[in-house]
Amino acid sequence: MTSARILFPDFRDEQEDSRYPFIDTASLTATDNVTIIPRNAFYDACLFCINGGSNPYISSIVVENQLITLNISDDENEDIAATSFAPKPIQAPETGTLSLYDNYARPAGTLVIDRERLTVFAGWAEGTYTFEPAATTFAATTTIPAKEPGVRGLLKPDNTIFTGDVLLVGDGGVVLRYTGVENNQHVIQVDVIGVPLYKRFVCLPFERFSAKTFVRTINDCPANQYGNFILTATEFEVEDTVIRILQRDNTIYFDAVGKKVV
Amino acid sequence: MPRPGFYNDNEHRAYPFVFNSKQASFLPDSLVVDLNVIMGLDSEFDARLHTVWLHAVSKNGNNLLIELRSNAPGANEPLIFTRDLSVNDDWVTEYAASNPYIKDENSCAEEPAWAAYLTTGPLKDTNELIQNGETISPGTNFSVEPSQIQSLVRSYLRGVSVGNLSRPVALSACETEPAEERHVILNKTCLKGDIRFNEGYNALIRQRNASNEILITAGRGLGNQDTKELCEHNGELPFYAGEEKPILFEATTDQPAVYSKFFSGGPACDELITGINGAPGPHINFVAGTGINIVADPATHTITIELSATTLAGNC
């Protein structure tokens, strides 16, 4: 007796018994030649790893007590993306997807899964199961190349990545200025000039610049170009006055000269 | 027996939507035979939380409108695809894109928040199902297969803006708190395309191709800048064209306002009294000699110097 054939099986039903989303020749067998990924564990995949190479594949599955991690590699990159889920009980999303992320936590793709069938991984002994590229190569239709030239992001030394719209801010004596377009390039000029008050701002934040009341004028008269203020009894070189003003050792003497009337 | 094609298959199954037993009560499978969705940089799409679904199909005269929606926060504008029912074409592919998602005033978005390619199959069944002016809303029963959604979230650097944090400014004599918190002063926003860093005053910029690094460092005299601009501003640089220097003393009825020579405020050295009659201080004593009285009043910060009539009069 032959079984009835469904002419138009639903997409996921159709893929259930096929190796898809892996290529037809994928053995799905780990390098230990024992462990096999079930054909029906994955329905579909969509991979868009930034700067990814060709022939992406599942390079390893790491089984730990509380976490199962699937690592994706390709011809050019080792472990370019990964996804993980808790095995006991299975805590894969109800959306039936495992989201792949790259090393900078950027979205790198989606594995469409059957939550129930992922339990097979929970049955594997703890350890790392590696796969040859040919064993788990994804079909080309699942891969969207993402190798466009251009800046993908800015990295800090701690590997924090900035994407999208980035604001570069000068501070602490570094001034950033846009100076226009030269040779079809936008030019940002970096000047390092220091800020007179910055050190004090950092070190004495509670006394920031409550102004010192420097003496700038006396009776509206400023100092000369050397900062020196001249006190005179009258105009210079006028001798017919009794007032004398002398300076010696940071002391200014005020005298009245003349004879006493006795 | 010839095999049916991919689109033939899809005319008779839920794909590109996830199968749901309620779908048949709303719309025929043949309506949509292929679909690809691109969630843009600003869509905030997270495959663990968000999805895309066929929200509504409506007929307006000869036009069939197919509406896709998403629950991603940045992709809340629906995508509308339009088919001309008077043209009996199978497998027509159309591209639809939303407007940019402008999250805030700092956004450099110009590209769609999200977009999709949608291919329809034969529309005869759908045309017969929907009356003119009618809209069928199947809720979220037509959820797009997750593998048909590409996310560009965090995938590239779109634009660079340039600015400086407002400088620490000296307060005037009577102020105890700065007028405002420090903030970013932008001098150019949303640079796109090729960008070059230029060495300014005391700056050295090196590119390391091997490690994909740009090294920006400082050193006295580095950079090939004419010092003219720097000296014109007493060792500082304006953060934007027309930046004014702070006021040292407000204008009075007798004299105009006095401005600092510095963008960071405060007096210049040559504006201060640093000595009297050549005595440099910091402490200067006034001493009364013969015939002089000096009276200091710390309360009013006043020193009164006067002739002493007593001494001049010979103690009479």
Q: What is the DSSP letter of B243?
A: P
Chain B residues within an 8 Å CB radius of A143: none
Whether the CB-CB separation of B241 and A192 falls below 8 Å is answered with: no
Q: Tell me whether residues B15 and A10 touch, CB distance under 8 A.
A: yes
Q: What percent of the residues of chain A are helix, what percent strand, and what percent coil, each to the nearest 5?
A: 10, 35, 55
Residue A143 and residue A121: Cα distance in Å, rounded? 24
Higher-pLDDT residue of A3 and B42 is B42
What is the reported pLDDT for B303? 76
DSSP H or E run through A251: strand A251-256
Among candidates A105, A247, A261 on the partner chain, residue whose Cβ is nearest the Cβ of B314: A261
Residue B73 in tokens: 């926060």
Domain boundaries, chain B: 4-151, 160-232, 247-307
End-to-end CA gap in chain A = 153
Domain ranges of chain A: 11-142, 217-256
Look at residues B129, B138, B140, B121 and name the one whose alpha carbon lies nearest to residue B12: B121
- Tally Cβ neighbours within 10 Å of residue A35: 18
Give burial (CB, 10 Å; 0-12/13-18/19+) of B197: middle
Evaluate if residue B310 carries a pLDDT over 50. yes
Min distance B60 CA to chain A CA atoms (Å) = 31
Q: How many CA atoms lie within 13 A of A244 on its CB side?
A: 12
**For the range A183-187, what are the long-range contacts, defined as Cβ-Cβ under 8 Å and sequence gap of 24 or more?**
A184/B193, A184/B194, A185/B193, A185/B194, A185/B195, A185/B196, A186/B188, A186/B191, A186/B193, A186/B194, A186/B195, A186/B196, A187/B195, A187/B196, A187/B197, A187/B198
Q: What pLDDT does B315 receive?
A: 47
- Please give, rounded to a whole number of angstroms, the shortest distance from the CA of B180 to a CA of chain A: 13
How many angstroms separate the Cα of B114 from the Cα of each of A105, A215, B98, B139?
21, 64, 6, 20
User: Is the Cβ pair B147, A150 closer than 8 Å?
Assistant: no
Q: What is the pLDDT of residue A151?
A: 87
CA A143 – CA B197 distance, rounded (Å): 36
Residues A256, B291: C-beta atoms closer than 8 Å: yes
Q: What is the pLDDT along chain A (262 residues), one digit of tens a residue?
A: 455 666 778 888 888 888 999 999 999 999 999 999 988 889 999 999 998 999 999 999 999 988 999 999 999 999 999 999 887 766 666 668 899 999 999 999 999 988 777 888 888 999 999 999 999 999 999 999 988 878 899 998 888 999 999 999 998 889 999 999 998 999 999 999 887 776 666 666 655 555 566 777 777 677 777 778 877 776 555 566 777 788 888 888 888 776 655 5
With CA atoms as reference, the chain B residue closest to A171 would be B165
- With contacts defined as CB-CB under 8 Å, which chain A residues touch B250? none
Q: B151: distance to nearest CA of chain A, Å? A: 7
Q: Which residue of A has its CA nearest to B217?
A: A192
Q: In B, which residues are within 8 Å of A177 by CB distance?
A: 162, 187, 200, 237, 239
- Using CA atoms, how far residue B162 sits from A159, A177, B201, in Å, is 22, 7, 17
d(CA A176, CA B191): 14
Vertex A98 angle, CA A92 and A103, to 5°: 120
Determine the Cα–Cα distance for residues A252 and A255; give it in Å rounded to an integer: 10
What is the distance between the alpha carbons of residues B36 and B173, in angstroms, rounded to a whole number?
66
Helix (H, G, I), strand (E, B) or coil at B269: helix
Between A8, A50, A164, which is nearest B9 by CB? A8
Residue A196 has its nearest CB partner, among B171, B264, B288, at B264
CB-based burial, A55-88: b 16+ in 10 Å, e otherwise: bbbbbbbbbeeeebebbbbbeebeebbbbbbebe
Q: Tokens representing B189?
A: 């926003």
Q: Which residue type sits at A65?
A: N
d(CA A117, CA A57): 20
Residues 6 or more apart from A240 whose CB is under 8 A from it? none
Residue numbers in B near A215 (CB within 8 A): 272-273
Which of B34, B108, B155, B252 best probes binding to A when mutated, by most A CB atoms within 10 angstroms?
B155
Closest in B13, B198, B216 to A11, CB measured:
B13
Cβ proximity of A31 and A134 under 8 Å: no
Provide the pLDDT for residue B266: 81
Q: Which of A95, A178, A201 has its CB closest to that of B162?
A: A178
Q: What are the tokens at B228? A: 């003219």
Among chain A residues, CA nearest to B254: A220
Q: How far is the alpha carbon of B300 from chain A, nearest alpha carbon, in Å?
A: 14
**Contact (CB<8Å) A46/B149:** yes
pLDDT of residue A204: 64
Distance from CA of A124 to the nearest CA of B (A): 25
Q: What is the pLDDT of residue A210?
A: 57
At B226-246, the pLDDT tens digits run 888 888 888 889 888 888 888
The answer to whether residues B265 and A196 touch, using CB atoms and an 8 Å cutoff, is: no
- pLDDT exceeds cutoff 80 at B190: yes
DSSP designation for A126: S
Give contacts of B270 with chain A, Cβ < 8 Å.
Answer: 225, 227
Whether residue B15 and residue A161 make contact (CB cut-off 8 A), yes or no, is no
Phi, psi of A46 (to 5 degrees): -145, 115
